[in-house]
Structure 1
Amino acid sequence: MKKLYLVDVSSMFFRAFYAIRPLTSPAGVPVNAVYGFLSMISKLMKDEKPEYLVFCYDRKEPSFRHEMYDQYKAHRSEMPEDLGVQIPYIKRLADVMGVPSLEVPTFEADDIIGTLTKYGRRQGMDVVIVSGDKDFAQLIEPGVVLYDTMKDIKYDSEGAFNKWGVRPDQFIDFLAILGDSVDNVPGVKGVGEKGAIKLLEQFKHLEDIYENIDKVESKSVKEKLLASKDNALISKKLVIISTDIPIDENLETYKLRPWKTEELRALLRELNFKNFEKNLLGLEGEDKLKADGTNWYSETANPSPQKVQVAAAPANVSDPLTASIAEITEYTAQEYPEVKMSTRELTEVLAENQPLWGFQDERGVFLGTDKEVISVSDSENLGILTDTFNVRWSGFDLKEFWHKIGAKTPVAAWDSMLGAYILKAGDATDFAKMYNKFMGEELREMPTPSQLYNSHLHFAKTIQKLLKEVHGDKVYNTLELPLANVLLAMENWGIRIDTDLLKKESEDLAKEISELETAIHKEAGESFNVGSPKQLGVVLFEKMGLPAGKKTKTGYSTDEEVMLGLEHPIAKLILSWRELSKLKSTYVDAIPALISPKDQRVHTSFNQALTTTGRLSSTHPNLQNIPVRTERGQRVRKAFIAAPRMKLMSVDYSQIELRILAHISEDPNMMKAFAEDLDIHAATAAEVYGIDLKAVTSEHRRAAKAVNFGIAYGQGAFGLAENLGISRSEAKDIIDRYFTRFKNVRDYIEGTIKLAHEQGYVETLFGRRRYIDELKSKNMALKKFGERAAINAPIQGTASDIVKKAMIDVAAKVPVRMLLQVHDELIFEDTEANLQKYSAELVKIMESVVALKVPLKVNYAIGDNWDEAH
């Protein structure tokens, strides 16, 4: 999802001025604030890689707030002279670094940021407000965070609450009560932060306080409130950030433009910022090749290629990341001239099936050829053009790049991110981190396009070599690379949402959450913030005297494990409150904000290189964590609906992980149950308890089901006892009986753990490796975790591979829209006639993706919404 970064220049500039020691330019002009500000901005650009970034400025003339209250900012002292002379440099930096800037007469920077925040959300973008000013907490909502770059902290709704003690929707009231001595906002005299928090816990908003003034417990606070009523009400008007001031509605206005490189270099030299010139641009005429020959790039005045050494792992080692260097290969770096072109100009130079390397940074979109780097001025039109020429794309995270340029039917040749992910499963989405991980050196800070292109080529060559050495190229070529196009199409399609249903559900949840809160307060004997772990800990363990569990740095732990261990009605109420509050904030309230104004559909993002298991995950929204079996979860799934005259079809693998376990272990009893299409949990219960299948009770089946699912995750007697609420000895007895009847499963577990210790990894049926570093740990708990991961990885990883292969095959052979993938389930949308027509073919493809020793089974259903089709 695109992000819009909004920089509160005044806040950052002032903080930089007081944080950085006095500095002067060669001309004697103070430049410490400029230096600090540029430090923060360059770090922001490096870490966040923004595409849309706006500097927001205050104006010198009075704002509209002075008309409301003539004493507004009346006591503000003049800006220090050494700071005032530095402001023009910030505006010059913005110009040469291609950063859009905005100031609006009679409005403050806060109002510009407020308006752009709402504008960005309407455009379906996430918004990052870059400021150290807490006033912006009132703008935080799903999709909006406040980023304090000096502390390197991002505050979402939960973070803001933990920091200041009130919710973002209460922040205006909070500020109105506190007032602001700097801006001369009067507030309520004599009431500080703690008093304001306590009032808002009880009354929610300022108006509620005055409507229920007789219910204020403290007599002195009541008197202060009454004495300052007019001040409080005018303060609320003053602290509200405007969100509807006049701005340019063209999104491209707020897009970063290419740097004016020579002008930037000249300005940095004027300021004597040598380190910034070196880090951002590279010093002209300086040979950067290290004496030991290990640095790959060259910026010599005579840009001839430099041969340098690249380390590669030997073919006989199991882990290419930890292997010692045993052979050396050569890599030739080249200086690629940068050429600026529009898509119209590109049509004259592109050839059919031309190979291109696509990459981007905060300066724009670049195309790498064998001769040059092309900077594309209008990249939003690039996808249509390159699709027409059937360009063969290489890059790092091609799917994200394709979204960036609007490509719909691109051709993938190579994706370094996917190669790195196969080598070492886990978060492989950050190029700089992956470069450091595999190459053993840091990516140059703010490299030139030529340097960045060279680093991509260098990295790709290394990953390709390592993939072949560990036989990962098969998984890469048959699963991961072709899947990228399938996911791109799914993300482009999106799915419709019933906003009316979610609005009603939000109202119902709010009411139920409020009722739970009242019940919790009744059990506790006092009102407090249920969402505050600190307050909750004090109430439960100090005031109520319940047995305290583990402690954290900030106080008592109140996590789920602690709550489940409390034998008091309040614990169950708290867990219910948390469950419903999370469901409301994460899904019911958040999903409508993700709807694209262009097509009224939600376009989730599938993460192909994030999990350690090989499974896909998703964000915006996270589909994998929607509760499946609860009534509330079903209501959320009902909100995912088919388009008019369309239906949804869900196709779901049945017991896929247990079928894989049966195949790998070749356990005869388990294989027999699947071959005869029995209820696997009932069949397991019959074996474990030594009874006829017809005699299996629901309790027998429940226990067997817990064992079946637990076995694949290395669960022992303690975990099973906790799960079923039985004694550990009884759980051990059930597990012993299980392994007596399913001996091959025990052999699989023991053999897999032994093999994992010997070679440091395990593999799926498709050959995907999972390296397990925890097995080498001296910490017994970590080592046991590694052993459980070793048991599970071949099973869960194979299930993931099967689903991915099914997605690729279905997309290639069946003409229906595939919209979503959730665990072992695929969601399709089409006319009911088409879904019925192709359902048999779909099922056949999915059931024959791989030949197991037991049959793969798929279930499907058709309905108007996801829940009906599930």
Structure 2
Amino acid sequence: MSEAPFKHVYLVDGSGFIFRAFHALPPMSNPDGVPVNAVFGFITMLMKLLTESDADRLAVIFDAGRATFRNEIYPDYKAHRPDPPEELIPQFSLIRDAVRAFNVSCVEMPGFEADDLIATYARQAAEMGAKVTIVSSDKDLMQLVGGRVGMFDPMKNRQIGPAEVFEKFSVSPDKVVDVQALAGDPTDNVPGVPGIGVKTAAQLINEYGDLDTLLARAGEIKQPKRRETLQSNAEAARISRQLVRLRNDVPVPEPLENFTVREPDRDVLLGFIDQQGFRSIRARLTNGQPAPAAGKPLSAPDSRISGAVVMPEATPGPVPAPVATDYELVVEIAALDRWIAAGRKAGIVAVDTETNSLDPLRCDLVGVSLALAPGRACYIPVLHNGGAAQGSLDLGGPEPGADGPKPLPKADIVKRLKLLLEDPAVLKVGHNIKFDLQVLGSCGLAVAPIDDTMLLSYVLESGAHGHGMDELSALYLGHKTITYGEVCGTGKAQITFDRVPLDKALAYAAEDADITLRLHGVLKPRLVAEHLVTVYETLERPLVPVLAAMERAGIKVDKAELQSMSVEFGRRMSDFERDICLLAGVEFNIGSPKQLGEILFEKLNLPGGKKSAKTGAWGTGADVLEQLAPLHPLPRKVLDWRQLAKLKSTYADALVDQINPATGRVHTSYAMAITSTGRLSSSDPNLQNIPIRTEEGRRIRRAFIAEPGFKLLSADYSQIELRLVAHVAGIQGLIEAFKNGADIHAITASQVFGVPVEGMDQSIRRKAKAINFGIIYGISAFGLAQQLGISNGEAKQYIDAYFARYPEIRHYMDRTKEQVKKQGWVETLFGRKCFVPGINDRNPAMRAFAERAAINAPIQGGAADIIKRAMIRLPDALAAEGLTARMLLQVHDELVFEVPEAEIEATRAVVKRVMEAAASLDVPLLVEVGVAASWAEAH
């Protein structure tokens, strides 16, 4: 092997970069009106790669065209792939221009795919002794991994080696081609062997060694169907192998030596950037120097991509330069006092807690970290004396409890932290600070005032990306944080944080506070520029302590009732299992989708079955069973069995285990930054998904009870989403009906179907109700037909009649779709931006789904904003009246309170008044209030 004149070659899958960038970013165009969102995203990813890689040779490899030598082998190869979206086509040449503007080698070759060129260059470089990194997430390139060749997935920031290939294919990289030849690939129209997916293919290749041996010995396979399929499709498998195997002997147009990493020509690069109107990229390239006056800016907000994440950017600017860190372990009183004094003087401090559990009400405080300036942070250990766990991985460093430094007494730490964390003149910044408020609250610390970087990110970019600190650090700061697994281990070897050596605990915990403070400096100023101050300051930040109090309060459950329920559900499940097996004529595992599919579509021969192209198994989802239910009694019984099984495991059994022994109550946790519309989500336990329309679901709610001497009060917004539709779309007929307190579904039926309200047939009202609610979610004629049991034609007539009577809602829908396609997001009444990924997806089904989401988001998001406004106002309103009711739960449009029996009527009046005044609309808000000993009876 000759010695290469270079050490590390990076080969970038250009097509992968292009499509990731295009589908990740909202539409934008340059001053000439040419679409450039893919160009912008591609450049940003290329800049990140050039900055972070250690490559001394780098090239971007593109596909020259669709026709390649593989079409001569199999004319239908990739025949079904759709053409690129129209708005992407003009960007292909601009992206190649961009690569050249960065002075990066750009290679393509007619007749061959980019993957073949990558395979050839990878082989050449490895044979010369160089390390090779293929920058792509394409599974087809995984066959090249091994030896000196590896892959890097830039979207997941993940190295791919032989272990990762095995994880995906269950075979070593040298056998990936054989697995793909058997499994085929419907995307590329590679035929493969029907009925054999990747899992089965891997099992066969591992058993027989390779494809040729398998095909030669196919007659030995015991399963008749599999044996016959392999024998009759042997030639298809061999052809498929030719299609998926990459050529590594392509007469490439440029030698590796030409791929030297070079500095770009500044004038050429900036000239190209300015032509496209990429202000933020110029700022990053020139340390913030403005571009010369010329042309118009982008027609959509400039954006930045880092890794897999995309986000709009209102104030262009470079990624901050790396920050030198100075982290201190605080184990002496004098040092702690010094940090407390410095924090009070600074007026702002980032704070983060470390614990030995994720349950804030049951965990111990292990340590607290503080940050006062970028790079300047400390860690104050509280509980680091457990020693290393037996059998755990060696994390290095001195063990806590050994001869190293010892934590200060907890009482001394809490006493001094109180001076800082309860100081009203000091802003405390956290990331998901609700958790820290709970933990510190258990120590007697009432932390205020607060800011939350997770919520800042959520308000600015909602559904555009995740809002975890690690992700935001990579996104905004270009910094990869230390992961929890790196300090605590993973799997069975994982230890709790109190057993982490102090030097490693310092690096991890202080970094958390440091990154939080730095993110605050990046995100908080954007609120003003992007007109989102009101959303953050009136809807999100003040809700944090309200939710923390609700989580701490919890709700009482009747343990005996739950246990009785579990026994009954189990008995009824056994009855269903017996009936189902009798109907099937054979005993089988009802919980196995594979076995159920075989019963339905092979034994009972029910129509309409579809097999998964990936697994070869019959589909047996709820939608499939619902369609089969009118044809045979077995599918309906399976649906009933599944519902009982879910209620038993998720609630009747799980809730008993989730009762806090110290309080006798269950304490759900509310996630504030999950949904794209602002709705809260509940977990551990999830109390928002308990069915309310079934008797079993209502029985689960009966197990939620009030303490002796109290009642549960349920306050529920009536038809709030319909009211918002009427207001937002300006539907005068519905607005008048709501103002008059009329039966909205009867009015709709009267106006759409031309029947009088008096003496109306309830079936007509039911149809109107289905349309009223269905329209909000973009229901199709097919969906309405399924729901009402009518023909598609009749359903379409109903929907057409609805739009004819209420043309305002059609105008609203069209207006919303047009808006979201231009800017990538829609807005609620209160200014919340709801981002809608996939609105420009080339897949029509995905695009239609995104359009429906865009239409619904301002409605669902508006309802979420209204109930948040009410939740924020209610604690003070109740306290002002001297009432002691506690707000316990928020479930969609409903709030649940625990109220002393003597205060019920006064509390009812205050809750109803505050909730109905939470928003001023063209229609009145109506809140229905119920009071009882259990949740089910109160609702």
What TM-score do you get using the length of structure 1 for normalisation?
0.61
**Aligned partner of 1:750: which letter?**
D
Letter in 2 for 1:596: N
Quote the residue 2:368 is aligned against.
365
Distance 1:311 1:365 in 2: 40
Change beyond 3 A, Cα 1:346–1:601: farther
Question: Which residue in the other structure is 2:660 paired with?
Answer: 596
CA displacement 1:431-451 (0-9 Å, x = unmatched) = 112333445664355655554
Of 516, 519, 529, the match for 2:579: 519
Amino acid at match of 1:562: V
Asked if structure 2 preserves the Cα contact closer than 8 Å seen for 1:358 and 1:366, the reply is: yes
Answering whether residue 380 of structure 2 is matched by residue 376 of structure 1, we say yes
For the 8 Å contact 1:365–1:376, the answer to whether it is kept is: yes
The reply on whether 1:405 has 2:447 as its aligned counterpart is no
Stretch of structure 1 that moved more, 800-809 or 830-839: 830-839
Aligned to 1:187: none
Change in 2 beyond 3 A, CA 1:388/1:442: closer
CA distance in 2, matches of 1:310, 1:436: 20
Contact 1:383-1:406 within 8 A present in 2 as well: no
**Match of 1:701?**
765
Shift in Å, 1:415: 0.7
Counterpart for residue 236 of structure 1:
none
CA distance in 1 between partners of 2:448 and 2:371 (Å): 16
The question of whether the paired residues in 1 share the 8 Å contact of 2:312 and 2:461 is answered with no
| Kept in 1: contact 2:729–2:808 (CA 8 A) | yes
Indicate the SS of the match to 1:692.
coil
- Aligned equivalents of 1:406, 1:348: Cα separation in 2: 23
Query: CA separation of 1:684/1:786 partners in 2, compared to 1, >3 Å: closer, same or farther?
Result: same
Q: Within 2, Cα distance between the matches of 1:308 and 1:863?
A: 66
Q: 1:507 to 1:582 in 2, by over 3 A?
A: same
Which range moved further: 486-495 or 374-383? 374-383
- Counterpart residue type for residue 377 of structure 1: P
Following the alignment from structure 2 to structure 1, what is the Cα–Cα distance between the partners of residues 508 and 694? 53
**Is 1:727 the counterpart of 2:787 in the alignment?**
no
Asked if structure 1 preserves the Cα contact closer than 8 Å seen for 2:319 and 2:478, the reply is no
8 Å Cα contact 2:427-2:449 kept in structure 1: yes
- The alpha-carbon distance between structure 1 residues 795 and 737, as it changes in their structure 2 partners (threshold 3 A), is same
Measure how far apart 1:571 and its partner are. 0.5
Relative to 1, partners in 2 of residues 1:373 and 1:765: Cα closer, same or farther, differing over 3 Å? same
Give 1:491 deviation, angstroms. Answer: 0.3
CA distance in 1, matches of 2:724, 2:746: 18
Which residue in the other structure is 1:431 paired with?
Answer: 469
| Aligned-pair CA distance for 1:620 | 1.2
The reply on whether 1:507 has 2:567 as its aligned counterpart is yes
> Residue type of the partner of 1:741?
R
Alignment of 1:488-637 (within 5 A): 488-547=548-607, 549-552=609-612, 553-554=614-615, 555-566=617-628, 567-637=631-701
Distance in structure 1 (CA, Å) of the matches to 2:517 and 2:533: 18
CA contact (8 A) 2:828 2:862 kept: yes
What are the Cα deviations for residues 812-842 of structure 1, in whole angstroms up to 9, with x where unaligned? 2213210000000000112022232122122
Offset, 1:510: 0.6
Which among 291, 309, 329 is matched to residue 339 of structure 1?
A: 329
| Aligned equivalent of 1:654, options 694, 700, 718 | 718
> How far off its partner does 1:374 sit?
3.0
The alignment yields a C-alpha RMSD, in angstroms, of: 3.2
Deviation at 1:546, TM superposition (A): 2.2
1:655-694, aligned counterparts within 5 Å? 655-694=719-758
Residue in structure 2 matched with residue 794 of structure 1 by the alignment:
858
CA distance in 2, matches of 1:401, 1:831: 30
> Structure 1: which amino acid aligns with 2:327?
P
Q: Distance in 2 between matches of 1:818 and 1:663?
A: 29
Deviation at 1:701, TM superposition (A): 1.3
CA distance in 2, matches of 1:854, 1:383: 51
Q: Answer yes or no: is the 8 Å Cα contact 2:288–2:317 preserved in 1.
A: no
Structure 1 unaligned regions, length at least 5: 1-147, 154-290, 293-306
- Measure, in 2, the Cα distance between the counterparts of 1:317 and 1:468: 18
How far the C-alpha of 1:151 sits from its partner, in A, is 9.5
Cα distance, 1:570 vs structure 2: 0.3
Whether the aligned pair in 1 keeps the contact of 2:669 and 2:682 (CA below 8 Å) is: yes
- SS state at 1:793 partner: helix
Structure 1 residues 152 and 656, CA gap change in structure 2 (3 angstroms): farther
The 5 Å alignment of 1:279-290 reads none
Q: Distance in 1 between matches of 2:457 and 2:555?
A: 31
**1:368 and 1:453 in contact (8 A); partners too:** yes
**How far did 1:676 drift?**
0.5
- Matching of residues 100-111 of structure 1 within 5 Å: none
1:729 Cα deviation from its structure 2 partner: 0.8
User: 1:315 touches 1:470 (CA, 8 Å); kept in 2?
Assistant: no
Please tell me whether the aligned partners of residues 318 and 470 of structure 1 are also in contact (alpha carbons under 8 angstroms). no
One-letter code of the match for 1:793? A
CA contact (8 A) 1:312 1:327 kept: no
The percent identity for this pair of structures is 40
Answer yes or no: is the 8 Å Cα contact 1:308–1:331 preserved in 2.
no
> 1:711 and 2:775 equivalent?
yes
SS at match of 2:325: coil
C-alpha distance after superposition, 1:555-599 (max 9, x if no partner): 111111111122111000100000110011011110111000111
Question: Contact 2:824 / 2:837 at 8 angstroms: preserved in 1?
Answer: yes
Q: Does the aligned pair in 2 maintain the 1:412–1:481 contact within 8 Å? A: no
Range that drifts further, 819-828 or 837-846: 837-846
Range 474-483 or range 768-777, more displaced: 768-777
State the distance in 2 between where 1:429 and 1:484 align.
16
Measure the CA separation in 2 of the matches of 1:525 and 1:343. 76
Once the two structures are TM-superposed, the CA of residue 416 in structure 1 deviates from its matched residue by: 0.8
Show CA shifts across 1:201-242 (max 9, x none): xxxxxxxxxxxxxxxxxxxxxxxxxxxxxxxxxxxxxxxxxx
CA 346–685 in structure 1, closer or farther in 2 if over 3 Å, else same: farther
Identify if the C-alpha distance between structure 1 residues 448 and 590 changes in structure 2 by more than 3 Å, giving closer, same or farther. Answer: closer
Structure 1 distance, partners of 2:563, 2:334, is 46
Map of 1:276 onto structure 2: none
> Displacement of 1:695 after TM fit?
3.0
Q: Give 1:417's aligned residue.
A: 454
Corresponding position of 1:396? 431
Q: Which residue of 2 aligns with 1:356?
A: 349
Matches within 5 A, 1:109-128: none
Structure 2 CA distance for partners of 1:656 and 1:409, relative to 1, 3 Å: farther
Distance 2:768 2:646 in 1: 31
Give the TM-score of the pair, scaled to structure 2. 0.57
**1: distance between equivalents of 2:427 and 2:333?**
17
Return structure 1 stretches of 4+ with deviation > 6 angstroms: 148-153, 310-316, 342-345, 379-384
Secondary structure of the residue aligned to 2:829 is coil
CA contact (8 A) 2:749 2:765 kept: yes
Give the CA deviation at 1:359.
2.3
Partner SS, residue 366 of structure 1: strand
Counterpart amino acid of 1:339? L
Q: Which blocks of at least 5 consecutive residues in structure 2 are unaligned?
A: 1-162, 169-262, 265-284, 292-296, 304-309, 356-365, 384-409, 487-506, 880-884
CA distance in structure 2 between the partners assigned to 1:343 and 1:661 by the alignment: 60
Question: Structure 1's 696 and 484: CA in aligned 2 closer, same or farther, altered over 3 A?
Answer: same
Q: What letter matches 2:655 in structure 1?
A: I
CA contact (8 A) 1:312 1:329 kept: no
Q: Deviations over 1:679-703 (max 9, x none)?
A: 1111111111112111322111111
Q: What is the CA–CA distance in structure 2 between the aligned matches of 1:329 and 1:841, rounded to whole Å?
A: 49
Amino acid at match of 1:764: T
1:135-284 map, 5 Å: none
CA deviation profile, 1:145-171 (whole Å, cap 9, x unmatched):
xxx999999xxxxxxxxxxxxxxxxxx
